Structure 1
Amino acid sequence: MPPKPILVKNDTMKNVLVAPSRVVSRPDKLEGGEETEIAAQILVPPETGWGWVVVAASFINVFIFDGIAFTYGSLKNDISTDLNLSNSLVNLVNSLCIAIYYIAGPLASAFINRFGFRACVMSGSVLSSFSLFISYFSNGFASFCIFYGAIAGFGYCLMNMASGLIVGFYFEKLRSIALAICSCGSSVGIMAFYPLNVYLIKLAGWRTATLLHSGLIGLIYFLGMTFQPLLSFTVVKTTEDQTRTVTYLPNLSTAGLRLATSRTKTDDKTIEPTATERLFSAVSNSNFPTAAALVEDTTVGSAAQPGPSTAAVSKLTLTANAPQGGISPRQLKQVKSIMSKTSVQDKTKPPPVEIAVTVEEPKESSCWGRLCHWDVHVPESRPMYRDDVFYEGKLEKLPEYQKSKMASGTSKTGLEYQLAVSRAVTVDDLREKKGVFTTAARRVLATMMDPKLLRKKSFIFLCLGGFLIFVGYLTPYVFIQDRNVQAGLDPQHCLFLVSVIGGANAIGRLVLGGVASKIDPINVFIFSTLISGIVTILSDVSLNLSYQYFYCFVFGFFSSATTSLRSMVIVSLYGLDNLTNATGVILVFQGLGSLVSTPSASILKNMYGFSIAFYVAGSFITAGGIILLPVKRMSEKESKVTL
């Protein structure tokens, strides 16, 4: 049955054009000889409160896989004895797992852009669950390292990226709160799993504990079903003027997009593609104009047509991309409401616009199909093309959000903010629906792994600081219990030291995140890092129980800044448009630091004792904070030079 058109009249083009959140040049011809000038995609979050269901599911997901990944210290002694391996080799397995957890972030993000959040979190669940199950039967270092370390680590990364990023697409004003709740799942998981693991080991050994972990990771597969694809609309703007041809990618040539001529043109300058762009045969997001820039160019260009005889009659066609192939009347009303909230800043009368909303009939399904309803991923969805996808702070602090709020003329921004932070997408990208490493995946990899920021000395210092911090970051999680048991403290009390770190970490995420919204995030980050390093160096001053609990609380509280404030620091230094690029590079450095963390600490412990291992770990964390002290000033000087 052909789709039913629903016509909605509107005489203000700009009112409609502020709504799309995906913009793409379309040089192809439609039926009737009309030239398609702009195609876009509107994302419509549900009004039913389903976002909080997603937050709850994401919290539980992070609770499980981070609780398992970061409490390996409770298993290592039993694994070392059972497999007859040295502590250094056993610790290398966990370091490899955590390293891949961070380093594979760009690849996981690319898969999210290609296949969607739900497919990635469910795939990660299957991968990690299977890997832990195979680890149950491991009898040697090689198989244990491959399955428990490498493969399981990549599965954790898929689940972490999907569970952490999807929450931001369901919220606007409450986004920072929702993301904070989700991220606290990691801290609460560490707090709960460490004593649980110790109990299970005493009861049945590390293999049974790993088998239970495998089952819990498998539950994430079903929790991932709550990650429903958002309703979206493909928007096509057509013009009935047969004589006028308009190019709506003024900053990019088609050849530049496809890298056919190995160059990209921006205004009157020629930018050679980076080595990363050549490697992935895709252009970085930063080379694409924002949707807002394209829409504004289109609006100005249309209004500037001299005389009524040459003015083109425009029409917007909205096609529902509901995963189930249909759209409810309530959702349609929501879209119209969003469009009506915008305001017109230009007082000149623009050409008339007709909106035709094409609604597809829902596909028929059996009774079983309706009972087990499944919303498939919308192939045209490109969530990673948003500049703010990794941002965890308050949107109200962003200049892009403040400008969109002023443009809307109300307390709500509608979708103007999405326009300002969304990058254009090519028609070839939208048409690629087969394969794994399509343009949707390669473009994200080219963006996140683009080394252009490494030309800035301040960013090199930031990456080096992240590396040094993570060299010492895992040591307390892995060795704090063993050190205090060896010192003669009650093993029952030592059992909860890592739990204290986890609980304090959750509090720190909330408190330091709020402080960073009032004070420069880089200053909060440096102060927190220095405190974490100094207290780790001084953790051996006294080995009485009260002091050790105090150390664990202080370390857990301030070390939360290493991950929770990362995006806010990047945005404050380099702007929102560089957030995705900077995050990808920094994740690699943090992963490399994690790779050498616990194996080196284990070697130091075996040679010189626990005290030296903690001194060195604390020194690395402190050095990471010290090296960040001039970063703000260096970044400001670099900004002045580029101006």
Structure 2
Amino acid sequence: MTENGKIIEVKRTESEESLDEGDLEDFIPTPPDGGWGWMIVLASLFCNIIVDGIGYAFGVLLPIFSDYFQAPNSKVALVGSLLCGVYLCAGPIVSGLVNKFGCRAVAFAGSIVACAGFLLGSFAPNLDLLILFYGVFGGLGFGMIYLPSIVSVGYYFEKRRAVATGIAVCGSGVGTFIFSPLNDYLLKIFDWRNLLFLQAGIILNCLVCAMLMRPLEPKKKKKKVITEDDKDEMRHHFKVKAQRNRRITTESESSVQDVKTFAKLREAKLMRENKLNEEDSDIWSVPSEYFVKGNPESNPGSPTGTPKIIVTPNESVPNTDLSIRSSIRSQTSNTDKKVTVSVDDKTNESQPDIKVNRPSNGIAIAAYEVQPLIENGYTKVKEAKKPKLHPPAGSQMRVGSYRDIVAHKDDFARPLYKKDIFYSGSIVHIPQFRSQPNMDSYVTSITSIPGVSEVPKSSVWDHCTCLPKSVVDTLKEMLDFSLLLELNFALLCLGNLFAMSGFYVPFTFLVDRAGRLGVDSTDAAFLLSVIGIANTIGRVLAGLLADMKNVDALVINNVALVISTISLFLQPLCTTYELLIVFSVVYGLCVSAYISLTSIILCDLLGLSKLTNAFGLLTLCRGIAGIYGPPLAGFVFQISGSYDASFFLGGGMFLVGTLFHLALHLPCVKRNNAFTADTEMNFIADDPAEEPVAV
């Protein structure tokens, strides 16, 4: 693209032609809903067992670290809170890496990072280095393991996703059930340094799980095998056609030449008339309120403003990129914007190369797109056929910013370009799925690849030229803070900032509290195991309830939050081991619904198109709350000398968070999950840097 009236050349390669002629389903992988996907589920299950098992069982190590380093519980709690908080906060960054390098590579690297963090932590001479190695490095590695394990399951399953995801995330409760007594047993044999060394070895098992996360490839079309019978039939067909042609050629050579010339003239005339009269062009049928009419006088060399397209052969461009580029000259005169398109009648049957002149004061915009599909599967064109390369005479086109769409064929297989990748429920309840005739159409409709903007850089992400586009696209999508301007999501984030700060209080301090009540260390560690197994059962029950018709996931979530709040306030009254068991069961059952229904609630409140953005911001909020929550409760214990105040603080945090969640039921808080076929097409957005091009 050049300035000052120079020629803008747009090249189209063979791969682009294949994209035009073929279906997008040829490039977008269709989830098999089984097969190797069950191996992915198994790998994800083991990853969750290790990651969440070690993280949630930190409470067993709290008194050990406190005694060894002679440090207050508030500072020691920071070791475990950073481990869990960092792996949540790293979600958007890890998502970008997954979108670029795939689940296998990121989970493999995360296993090495986490293992290194625990190994270095085992040699830490002081608590500060332990916080750095165990908390920060270990948390970052866990984040690089956890998120790919969830994304890979969502990528391999659609119709059975609820079942597959449910099995995978059950590893969280199972891991807590296993690692709590395991840590207590190993601490009776080894010291805490050897325990961290052994845990580093256990984390290396995630390398094997990562290798099982095989990338999902598009279906390869089977080439038809030509048999001898087919060859004989083709020879016969050509022979009959040749004989027919010989019978027709009975006139003189000059007569034949006249007929050919007349035929060419007639064909050229028909093509010319089509260009002048065609009013149903696929591209130019977007609603008129977004356009200004073209002026025939803006190109006096062309009758009635007829478009001219100069087609030139191009064979030098590699066919690895699926690039669709185009531009249109736009001129501004006073308050009127006149758009002119020059077209030449010269055509070539080879691949087209569009050349359009652009004045220095004009704004070039895209006019050619690949079979556009928006999230709901509908398009603004009358028929979803191959787009035309020319606008009809007197047609209308949008005057906006220039957009240059460059889509590599690998982009169609990137997981974070799928709008439902973080959705953990059954997709049969999603309106976008019910509106599609088959699975391939649904997968295509929810796949969105952002375009490349040629306008001046306006976002901080636009200046990150050192990062790959697939990473920047994901970060820009997941960290779009403008979503916080929507009341329902703002309330949800505030609710999680408070509730999540109280979430880790029992996991961190329950074992130490039980020990101070005279409970044996093995029995005290078993309390976390009870929370873990109750958490597993609760996830299954919450999923079954949310899958029922006319059952609101937000209602289930809020009921669970209310019960969790009450249990935390009553926990100081649990002074016997039996009552501590009851508390563990109730708390484990209820908080499971709060965690497992997150994506379903986000989809209900905001719609599928904003799920990735909402999930990224909400995960960030939860990570921040998880970092400061336990140290704050430890600080309260340090001041009061009793864990009663710490659990009251956790209950108070849960109470405030619950009130924010209950506010989502107010009439003034609207849900934005309406599904309409009249959604504006993304690929003609005013701000190309902000809105993606739906493919």
How many Å separate the matches in 1 of 2:523 and 2:193? 24
Q: Which of residues 14, 17, 28 is equivalent to 2:11?
A: 28
Deviations 1:19-40 (A, max 9, x none): xxxxxxx963235996964784
Q: CA deviation at 1:458?
A: 2.1
**Other structure's SS at 1:630 match:** helix
Give the aligned partner of residue 427 of structure 2. 395
Residue type matched to 2:607 in 1?
G
1:290 partnered with 2:377: no
Match in the other structure for 2:510: 480
Q: Which residue of 2 aligns with 1:103?
A: 89
2:660 to 618, 627, 630: 627
Q: Distance in 1 between matches of 2:165 and 2:285?
A: 34
Identity of aligned residues (%): 28
Contact 1:27 1:35 in 2 (8 A): no
**Residue aligning to 1:422:** 447
Cα distance in structure 2, aligned partners of 1:99 and 1:188:
20
C-alpha contact 1:99 1:595 (8 A) present in aligned 2: yes
Is the alpha carbon distance of 1:229 and 1:543 closer, same or farther for their aligned partners in structure 2, counting shifts above 3 Å? same
Q: Does 1:227 align with 2:213?
A: yes
In structure 2, do the counterparts of structure 1 residues 82 and 523 end up closer, same or farther at CA, with 3 Å as the change threshold? Answer: same
Q: Decide which moves more: 627-636 or 66-75.
A: 627-636
Of the three residues 475, 479, 491, the one matched with 1:461 is 491
Asked if residue 198 in structure 1 is aligned to residue 184 in structure 2, the reply is yes
Q: Of 390, 413, 424, which aligns to 1:381?
A: 413
CA distance in structure 1 between the aligned counterparts of 2:617 and 2:75, rounded to whole angstroms: 28
Unaligned stretches of 5+ residues in structure 1: 1-25, 236-240, 259-267, 269-287, 307-319, 322-377
CA contact (8 A) 2:151 2:415 kept: no
Kindly state the Cα deviation for residue 499 of structure 1 after the two structures are TM-superposed. Answer: 0.4
Work out the CA distance in 2 between the residues paired with 1:580 and 1:35: 30
Query: What is the CA–CA distance in structure 1 between the aligned matches of 2:585 and 2:75, rounded to whole Å?
Result: 29
The within-5 A match list for 1:204-283 is 204-232=190-218
- Alpha-carbon distance change, 48 to 383 in structure 1, aligned in 2, over 3 angstroms: closer
Name the counterpart of 1:546: 578
Q: Note the aligned Cα RMSD (angstroms).
A: 3.8
- TM-score, length-scaled by structure 2: 0.67
Structure 1 position 522, deviation (Å): 0.8
Q: 1:462 to 1:210 in 2, by over 3 A?
A: same
**2:155 counterpart letter in structure 1:** F
Distance in 2, Cα, partners of 1:257 & 1:558: 55
- Contact 1:605/1:612, CA 8 A, preserved across alignment: yes
The structure-2 alpha-carbon separation of the partners of 1:194 and 1:48, relative to structure 1 and needing over 3 Å to count, comes to: closer
Q: Secondary structure at the match of 2:29?
A: strand
Contact 1:68/1:193 (<8 A) preserved: yes
Q: Structure 1 residues 575, 85: CA separation in 2 closer, same or farther (over 3 Å shift)?
A: same
Match of 2:552 among 517, 520, 527: 520
| In 1: Cα distance, 2:73 partner to 2:284 partner | 60
> Which of 122, 142, 147 is residue 161 of structure 1 equivalent to?
147
Distance 2:653 2:671 in 1: 27
Counterpart residue identity of residue 530, structure 2: V
Is 1:42 the counterpart of 2:28? The answer is yes
**Which range moves more in the overlay, 43-52 or 160-169?**
43-52
Q: CA deviation at 1:141?
A: 2.7
CA distance in 2, matches of 1:580, 1:107: 13
Match of 2:241 in 1: none
Describe the shift of the 1:91–1:67 C-alpha distance in structure 2 as closer, same or farther (beyond 3 A): same
8 A contact 1:37–1:246 mirrored in 2: no
The letter for the 2-side match of 1:469 is A
**Using the alignment, how far apart are the partners of 2:187 and 2:194 within structure 1?**
8
- Residue of 108, 113, 116 corresponding to 1:130: 116
- Partner of residue 630 from structure 2, selected from 569, 575, 598: 598
Aligned residues of 1:531 and 1:558 also touching (Cα < 8 A): yes
Instruction: Identify if the C-alpha distance between structure 1 residues 569 and 145 changes in structure 2 by more than 3 Å, giving closer, same or farther.
Output: same
Residues 115 and 204 of structure 2 are in contact (CA less than 8 Å); yes or no, is this contact kept in structure 1?
A: yes
Match of 1:176 in 2: 162
Question: What is the one-letter code of the residue matched to 1:121?
Answer: A
Equivalents in 2 of 1:576, 1:640: separation in Å?
A: 7
**SS of aligned partner of 2:662:** coil
Choose the corresponding residue for 2:76, options 81, 86, 90. Answer: 90
Contact 1:136–1:211 (CA<8 Å) still a contact in 2?
yes
Cross-structure match for 1:584 = 616
Residues 254-298 of structure 1, C-alpha deviations (whole Å, 9 max, x = no match): 99999xxxxxxxxx9xxxxxxxxxxxxxxxxxxx96377587748
Q: Secondary structure at the residue paired with 2:587?
A: helix
What secondary structure does 1:42 align onto?
A: coil
Pick the aligned partner of 2:589 from 553, 557, 561.
Answer: 557
2:306 maps to none
Q: Deviations over 1:203-237 (max 9, x none)?
A: 111111111110111111122111111122699xx
One-letter amino acid of the counterpart of residue 290, structure 1: I
Contact 2:43 2:212 in 1 (8 A): yes
User: What is the CA–CA distance in structure 1 between the aligned matches of 2:326 and 2:202, rounded to whole Å?
Assistant: 44
Query: How far did residue 513 of structure 1 move?
Result: 1.6
Distance 1:452 1:215 in 2: 43
8 Å Cα contact 2:487-2:669 kept in structure 1: no
Tell me if the contact between 1:530 and 1:626 (Cα under 8 Å) persists in the aligned partners: no
Indicate which of 465, 471, 477 corresponds to 1:447.
Answer: 477
- Specify the alignment match of 2:533 in structure 1: 503
8 Å contact from structure 2 (residues 12, 324) kept in 1: no
Query: 1:75: which partner in 2?
Result: 61
Using the alignment, how far apart are the partners of 2:486 and 2:155 within structure 1? 31
Task: Specify whether residues 638 and 390 from structure 1 end up closer, same or farther in structure 2 by C-alpha distance, changes over 3 A only.
Answer: closer
AA aligned opposite 1:597: G
Does 1:494 pair with 2:494? no
- Mark the structure with the bigger radius of gyration: 2
What amino acid does structure 1 have at the position aligned with 2:374? Answer: T
Q: Which residue of 2 aligns with 1:146?
A: 132
- Local SS of the residue matching 1:629: helix
- How many angstroms apart in 1 are the aligned matches of 2:510 and 2:574? 13
Distance 2:465 2:206 in 1: 26
Shift of 1:147: 1.2
Contact 2:184 2:522 (C-alpha < 8 Å) held by counterparts: no
Give the CA deviation at 1:435: 9.3
Instruction: After TM superposition, give the deviation of residue 303 of structure 1 in Å.
Output: 9.8
Query: Quick check: 2:91–2:616 contact (8 Å CA) kept in 1?
Result: yes
1:470 aligns with one of 488, 500, 506: 500
Alpha-carbon offset, residue 70 of structure 1: 1.6
The letter for the 2-side match of 1:29 is R
User: What pairs with 1:274-423 in structure 2 (closer than 5 Å)?
Assistant: 290=374, 293=377, 297=381, 299-300=383-384, 381-404=413-436, 408=437, 413-423=438-448
Q: How many angstroms apart in 2 are the aligned matches of 1:202 and 1:296?
A: 68
Distance 1:35 1:607, change over 3 A: closer
Cα distance change of structure 1 residues 294 and 478 upon mapping to structure 2, 3 Å threshold: same
- For the 8 Å contact 2:106–2:145, the answer to whether it is kept is yes
**1:469-490 per-position Cα deviation (integer Å, ceiling 9, x unaligned):** 1111001011111112211234
Shift of 1:182: 0.1
1:535 matches 2:567: yes
Pairwise CA distance, 1:420: 2.2
Match of 1:617 among 641, 650, 653: 650
* Conservation of the 8 A alpha-carbon contact between 1:37 and 1:248: no
**Structure 2 residues without counterparts, runs of 5 or longer:** 1-8, 222-270, 276-280, 292-322, 328-336, 338-371, 391-407, 455-463, 677-695
Corresponding residue pairs, total? 506
Read off the aligned partner of 1:28 and give its amino acid letter.
K
